[in-house]
Amino acid sequence: MHEIVTEQNIKSICTRLSKRDEHIGRILKTYGVPPLWDRDPTFATLVHIILEQQVSLASVLSAFNRLRGKIVEISPENILN
């Protein structure tokens, strides 16, 4: 079963992970608990996250804004069209 990360449990989840992985432990010790960003659970958010994994954040914003300029609503149907 997967645990949903919330503001209330993120610290304990990070602590448990750090005990299982020394690299995560060092990161947690150096930088602390990461922020928990809240994003709308939409297809557009999924596209944005995928872009973020591929290029720099500045490039993502530029590409995403260009996409939004061409497609009023980012949806699977509109992307296919």
CA distances from 46 to 7, 51, 70, 76 (A): 21, 9, 18, 11
What pLDDT digit, counting tens, does each position of 9-46 carry? 999 999 999 999 999 999 999 999 999 888 888 999 99
Q: Are 12 and 39 in contact (CB under 8 A)?
A: no
Residue 38: the pLDDT is 84
CA distance 50 to 8: 27
What pLDDT digit, counting tens, does each position of 57-81 carry? 888 889 889 988 988 888 999 888 8
CA distance 35 to 41: 18
